[in-house]
C-alpha cells in the first residue's frame, strides 16, 4: 500500500489523481490540500476519511507533508505556491510525483540539492517528462544524443502576430487536445508551457539546453522522444490523457491498469511534426535564454509569467503583452543565484512587483 499526499486536489490534475487513487487498492489517500476551494477539499477528505487537510495554506504545505508521513507526494498545485512542498518532500527523501513544474523551474538548483540530501526520487507527471523518463530508463547518459519535447502548438498554431493582437482569454482557453487548468492552458497558447518544460527537462535529466529540442506535434500522440547516439530514437505514444502519467508516477515502478484505451492503429494514425514559430510565440525563446542564463533567471521568468497570465485572464492585458511583460521583467532583473528558499522568495516577490508594473503600463496604453 502506498500512502499518497495529494496537493492541489481540487484542480484538473488533482481530480484525475483522485480517480486513479479511488480505483487502486494499492493507493491510499492520506492528505489533501487545496487553495480556495476549501469545501470541495474537505468533502474529498471526509468521503475518504483523510485526516490531514490544508486549505489556503493552513497548515502550510511543507508542514502538511511532514505531518502525514506519505510514501509519495503528488504536487499538483499550480505555480510558485507549490515550491515549499516540493522542497519539503525532496529534503525528507519522500518520492515526489511532480506536476507542479513551476517549482522545478524556479528552484532547480535548490531542488536538486534537496533531492541529493534526501535521497528520494522525482517521478515526473508532466506527460512529456513522464515519456522521457520512461524512454531513458536503464540507458547510460553517454548514449543519449538529445531529448525531443513535443508541443501541441496550442489553440493559436499557424496564426500570425497580427492575428493574436486581440484574442481573448476565452479563445486562448479553448485548447485543441488537452483539458487542463486555466494557467497551463494559457501557457500552452503562448508556448511558455514548452519553455517551462524545457527548463524542467534540463533539471530532471541533467541534459544541456543545446541538446533539448522542441517540435510541434498537433495531435499530441507522441508525448516525447529520446534520440540516442547510434541513430535510434525511442518515442512514447498514447492518447493524450493525463491519467496515464499520473498513474505511472503513483504506481511506479509498477504499471497499473487504467481506463484509457490503447492506441487504435487500425483506425489510421498520421504523425505530423513542425518547427515551433518562435517569432510569433517568443515565450519559448525567452525561457530557453533564461534557462541558459541560469541562477535565478528562471525564477524571474516564472514569476513574470504568472503575473502576466493572471492579468490576461482578468482581461487587463492583451495576449501579446504576456511575452512583453516577461521579456521586460527579465531584462530589468538582477538575477543572482539564490542560496536558499528565503532568497528565492525575495527574488520571486521582486520579479512579481516589476512584472505588475509593466503589465499596468501595457494595460494603460492598450485600446
Ligand X SMILES: NC(=O)c1ccc[n+]([C@@H]2O[C@H](COP(=O)([O-])OP(=O)(O)OC[C@H]3O[C@@H](n4cnc5c(N)ncnc54)[C@H](OP(=O)(O)O)[C@@H]3O)[C@@H](O)[C@H]2O)c1
User: Where do contacts with ligand X occur on this chain (CB under 6 A)?
Assistant: 8-14, 33-37, 57, 76-78, 81, 99-102, 126, 178, 180-184, 242
To ligand X, the closest distance from the beta carbon of 142 in angstroms equals 30
The closest alpha carbon to 311, from 348, 367, 358, 346, belongs to 358
> Which residue number is nearest to ligand X in terms of Cβ?
11
To ligand X, the closest distance from the beta carbon of 365 in angstroms equals 30
Q: Name the CA dihedral angle for 9, 258, 245, 46, rounded to a multiple of 10 degrees.
A: 10
Which residues are within 8 A (CB) of 350 and not within 5 positions of it... i.e. 6 or more apart? 333
The closest alpha carbon to 124, from 78, 162, 67, 74, belongs to 74
Judge contact between 322 and 301, C-beta under 8 A.
Answer: no
Judge contact between 184 and 147, C-beta under 8 A.
Answer: no
To ligand X, the closest distance from the beta carbon of 37 in angstroms equals 3
Of 106 and 362, the one with the shorter C-beta distance to ligand X is 106
Of 100 and 280, the one with the shorter C-beta distance to ligand X is 100
CA distance 124 to 252: 11
Burial of 129 (0-12, 13-18, 19+ CB in 10 A): buried
Of 100 and 251, the one with the shorter C-beta distance to ligand X is 100
Of 31 and 300, the one with the shorter C-beta distance to ligand X is 31
Q: Quick one: angle between helices 297-313 and 283-293, nearest 10?
A: 150
Cell numbers for 278? 518562435
Of 57 and 259, the one with the shorter C-beta distance to ligand X is 57
To ligand X, the closest distance from the beta carbon of 194 in angstroms equals 12
Element (H, E) at 86: helix 83-91
To ligand X, the closest distance from the beta carbon of 200 in angstroms equals 9
To ligand X, the closest distance from the beta carbon of 86 in angstroms equals 10
To ligand X, the closest distance from the beta carbon of 275 in angstroms equals 23
Of 244 and 300, the one with the shorter C-beta distance to ligand X is 244
Of 10 and 24, the one with the shorter C-beta distance to ligand X is 10
The closest alpha carbon to 283, from 213, 214, 342, 196, belongs to 196
Amino acid at each position: 500500500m502506498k500512502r499518497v499526499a495529494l496537493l492541489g486536489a481540487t484542480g484538473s490534475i488533482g481530480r484525475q489523481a483522485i480517480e486513479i487513487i479511488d480505483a487502486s487498492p494499492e493507493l491510499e489517500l492520506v492528505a489533501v490540500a487545496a487553495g480556495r476551494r476549501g469545501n470541495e477539499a474537505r468533502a474529498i477528505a471526509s468521503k475518504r476519511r483523510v485526516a490531514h487537510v490544508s486549505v489556503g495554506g493552513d497548515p502550510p504545505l511543507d508542514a502538511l507533508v511532514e505531518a502525514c508521513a506519505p510514501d509519495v507526494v503528488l504536487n499538483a498545485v499550480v505555480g510558485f505556491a507549490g515550491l515549499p512542498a516540493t522542497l519539503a518532500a525532496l529534503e525528507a527523501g519522500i518520492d515526489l510525483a511532480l506536476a507542479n513544474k513551476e517549482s522545478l523551474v524556479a528552484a532547480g538548483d535548490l531542488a536538486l540539492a534537496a533531492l541529493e540530501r534526501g535521497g528520494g526520487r522525482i517521478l515526473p507527471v508532466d506527460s512529456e517528462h513522464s515519456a522521457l523518463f520512461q524512454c531513458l530508463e536503464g540507458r547510460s547518459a553517454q548514449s543519449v544524443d538529445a531529448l525531443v519535447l513535443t508541443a501541441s502548438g496550442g489553440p493559436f498554431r499557424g496564426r500570425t502576430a497580427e492575428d493574436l493582437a486581440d484574442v481573448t482569454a476565452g479563445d486562448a482557453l479553448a485548447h485543441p487536445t488537452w483539458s487542463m487548468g486555466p494557467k497551463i492552458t494559457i501557457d500552452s497558447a503562448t508556448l511558455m508551457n514548452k519553455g517551462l518544460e524545457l527548463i524542467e527537462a534540463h533539471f530532471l535529466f541533467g541534459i544541456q539546453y543545446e541538446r533539448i529540442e522542441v517540435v510541434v506535434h498537433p495531435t499530441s500522440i507522441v508525448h516525447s522522444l529520446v534520440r540516442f547516439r547510434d541513430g535510434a530514437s525511442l518515442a512514447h505514444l498514447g492518447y493524450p490523457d493525463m491519467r496515464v502519467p499520473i498513474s505511472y508516477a503513483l504506481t511506479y515502478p509498477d504499471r497499473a491498469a487504467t481506463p484509457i484505451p490503447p492506441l487504435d492503429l487500425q483506425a489510421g494514425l498520421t504523425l505530423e511534426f513542425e518547427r515551433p514559430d518562435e517569432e510569433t510565440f517568443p515565450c519559448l525563446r525567452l525561457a530557453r535564454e533564461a534557462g541558459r542564463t541560469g541562477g535565478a533567471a528562471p525564477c524571474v521568468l516564472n514569476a513574470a509569467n504568472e503575473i502576466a497570465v493572471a492579468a490576461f485572464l482578468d482581461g487587463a492585458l492583451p495576449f501579446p503583452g504576456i511575452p512583453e511583460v516577461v521579456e521586460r521583467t527579465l531584462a530589468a532583473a538582477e538575477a543572482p543565484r539564490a542560496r536558499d528558499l528565503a532568497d528565492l522568495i525575495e527574488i520571486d516577490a521582486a520579479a512579481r512587483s516589476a512584472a505588475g508594473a509593466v503589465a499596468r503600463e501595457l494595460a494603460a496604453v492598450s485600446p
